[in-house]
Amino acid sequence: MLRIDHALRSDRVLKALTGLSILEFIDLTDRFATVLAHRGRTDPGKARQRQPGGGRKPMLTTAEDKLFFILFYVKCYPTFDVAGVLFEVHRSQPHRWVHTLLPLLEQTLGEAVVLPARKIDDVAAFFERFPQVKNLFIDGQERPTQQPKQPEAQKAHYSGKKKRHTRKNIVVSDEHRSIVFLSPTVAGHQHDYTLFKESDFPDHLPQEVCCWVDLAFQGMATAYPHLNVIIPDKKSRGGELTDDQKARNFLKASMRVVVEHAIGGLKRLNCMAHIYRNRSEQLADQFMVVACGLWNYHLKLAA
């Protein structure tokens, strides 16, 4: 069985297994233990079938063990058969652990105030949540998924850009690479700009904030005249960009690259970089939210 005491002897090993350093893991364990202690063990309206403490003894006995497992799962993303062998349980047990512990990890990251916003209702709410943000860097993020069996679902998930079946989110980061907003997870066929508009996020952005986007968001400056949109110059059909336009595009790309670094931070977790194998739509979105939270948590402790 994988033993956490061995992993905690080396930053390198712990990062390979969980994506966190020893100090980050210890700090997150304290927060996770608090959330775990306040979690109801049974449904209040459901009668118990055995006394507290009865039944088979758990394999994950401490908050540290439980946090290690769920971080190991999202970082290495093994199949449930492999996880069952590594933790010496039947493959159904890791499945139950993931669906039990992942929401608790999300709650822990939420209480640490590192989760991205999912909805902004007005400009005042934006300034209340992000008072220091002056620049926003916006991009679409796609991750591969297994090919659906139904033809309609295949068409909905097929991304012409990636030439494969994907799931998509819009990621918005600040100049420090922190992810401040995450759109809902949708099938990969949907266009980046369409998904961004449907999130209602641009309707509540203040005009003082600069929005850095790529050419996938063509027309955003016209649709949202109150926003300060910075977008590369587009080459006309049959024409060429001037040297000044090429120089401006280079400067814009060098500024906007921070959102690519933020997306790269998410893909440190194999549940984001590898093909999504799970069937649950909710779990696909939870993976994305937790990945953003862990990346922001890493940046927060490193600051």
Q: What is the percentage of the chain residues whose pLDDT exceeds 90? A: 81
For the chain, the average pLDDT equals: 92
Mean pLDDT of 51-61: 77
From residue 85, alpha-carbon distances to 73, 164, 271 in Å are: 13, 31, 19
Per-residue pLDDT of 130-155, as tens digits, reads 888 999 999 999 999 999 999 999 99
Mean pLDDT of 105-109: 97
Confidence of residue 52 (pLDDT cuts 50, 70, 90): low
Mean pLDDT of 289-299: 97
Backbone angles phi, psi at 182, to 5 degrees: -135, 125
- Token pair 């790529």 is found at 214
Strand partners, 187: 167
Measure the N-to-C terminal CA separation of the chain; round to a whole number of Å.
35
Per-residue pLDDT of 251-280, as tens digits, reads 999 999 999 999 999 999 999 999 999 989
Per-residue pLDDT of 207-250, as tens digits, reads 889 999 999 999 999 999 989 999 999 998 888 999 999 999 99
Selection from 143, 235, 121, 138 nearest residue 192 by Cα: 138
